[in-house]
């Protein structure tokens, strides 16, 4: 049987929701699928759970590996996939049963390299739902020039209309491999975003449906105080520089691009105050941020910022950095 779509699911400590995720995939209207479950060194019972699924359905392939991160895991899935197209599902999410049927038939009929749908963002804390769709014409095939004019600039906006996500798309697998477009395995932040930038910069054809077919589940309440990584600012900065390197200057929406960077480096500063207790080390980390030229540039050019960041950026751009950091410190004390 021809495999029409290979679905790659990275699994890491997902014992509470992986079964629901897999069940939603196996319930797909499109039956000619391959489900690649890659256990990325889980410390809980996720590995045992997915091993049980292999016994139930021959379309499932399970791989166990030491913890390597989402980029390595997804790249492995792309390389071993057998399907004409490849898609991705996160282990805490679910799909509508007709998702891959709709996307595959649309992509195959129109002979495009990427097909995309809308998705739900669901917060489990209060069961609220937010629908993310595009501003593109439904079921229209976009050529290379139209992709440049209508989509590329969106990657530097805060409202991305689903272009950043891996999971609401299918990609022509041979095209991905021929172009050697893979995830940056050195990155643990924004690897999906940069992957899609490279995809859309190289695309010849693309189609989008306005149907809402993917369910992105926020298992925990989102906030500024996310998991702390000491090198997170370097990753934010690298992502910004990559965008400046990859996307032509005239296609960058600098207003949104700079605002996003201010929010990113500000969240890092707040997290550093919360998580680094050694005063000397914390001072060195924050000095690295506050004296960075890109931080100064974004602080000068950003607009539409949340009120609490307007004050700190005012201090930064007016060479009053000695006031900016105490303000961030005070803000960090107000955030749980």
- Smallest CA-to-CA distance from 85 within 111, 119, 59, 57 is with 111
pLDDT of residue 152: 86
> Any idea which of 119-123, 217-221, 243-247 has the lowest mean pLDDT?
217-221
pLDDT, mean of residues 269-286: 94
pLDDT, mean of residues 225-232: 72
pLDDT of residue 151: 86
Q: What is the mean pLDDT of the chain?
A: 91
Q: Which residue has the tokens 């272009």?
A: 163
pLDDT of residue 160: 59
* C-alpha span between 145 and 155 (Å, rounded): 16
308 within 8 A of 331, measured Cβ to Cβ: yes
pLDDT of residue 104: 99
Q: Residue 129: beta bridge partners?
A: 122
Domains of the chain: 5-218 (3.90.550.10), 231-335 (no CATH)
pLDDT of residue 159: 54
Exposed, middle or buried by CB within 10 Å (0-12, 13-18, 19+), for 209?
A: buried
Q: Which residue has the tokens 């595009």?
A: 134
> 3-class secondary structure for 308-323?
HHHHHHHHHHCCCHHH
Q: Does the predicted TM-score (pTM) go above 0.75? A: yes
> Phi and psi at residue 84, in whole multiples of 5°?
-65, -40
* C-alpha span between 152 and 269 (Å, rounded): 30
14 within 8 A of 21, measured Cβ to Cβ: yes
């Amino acid at each position: 049987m021809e495999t029409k779509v290979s679905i790659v699911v990275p699994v890491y400590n997902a014992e509470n929701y992986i079964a629901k995720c897999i069940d939603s995939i196996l319930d797909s209207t499109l039956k000619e699928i391959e489900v690649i479950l890659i256990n990325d060194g889980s410390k809980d019972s996720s590995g045992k759970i997915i091993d049980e699924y292999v016994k139930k359905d021959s379309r499932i392939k399970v791989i166990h590996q030491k913890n390597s991160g989402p980029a390595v895991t997804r790249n492995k899935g792309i390389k071993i996939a057998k399907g004409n197209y490849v898609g991705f599902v996160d282990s805490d999410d679910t799909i509508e049963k007709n998702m891959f049927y709709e996307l595959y038939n649309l992509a195959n009929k129109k002979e495009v390299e990427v097909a995309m749908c809308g998705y739900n963002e669901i917060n489990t804390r209060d069961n609220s739902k937010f629908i993310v769709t595009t501003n593109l014409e439904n079921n229209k095939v976009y050529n290379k020039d139209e992709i440049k004019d209508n989509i590329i600039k969106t990657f530097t906006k805060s409202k991305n209309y689903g272009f950043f996500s891996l999971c609401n798309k299918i990609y022509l697998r041979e095209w991905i491999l021929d172009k050697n477009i893979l995830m940056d395995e050195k990155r643990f932040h924004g690897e999906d975003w940069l992957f899609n930038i490279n995809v859309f910069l190289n695309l010849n054809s693309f189609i989008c449906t306005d149907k809402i077919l993917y369910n992105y589940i926020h298992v925990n309440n989102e906030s500024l105080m996310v998991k702390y990584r000491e090198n997170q600012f370097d990753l934010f900065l690298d992502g910004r520089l990559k965008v400046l390197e990859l996307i032509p200057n005239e296609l960058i929406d600098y207003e949104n691009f700079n605002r996003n960077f201010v929010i990113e480096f500000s969240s890092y500063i707040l997290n550093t105050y919360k998580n680094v207790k050694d005063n000397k080390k914390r001072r060195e980390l924050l000095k690295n941020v506050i004296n960075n030229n890109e931080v100064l540039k974004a602080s000068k050019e950003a607009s539409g910022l949340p009120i609490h960041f307007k004050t700190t950026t005012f201090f930064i751009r007016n060479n009053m950095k000695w006031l900016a950091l105490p303000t961030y410190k005070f803000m960090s004390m107000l955030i749980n």
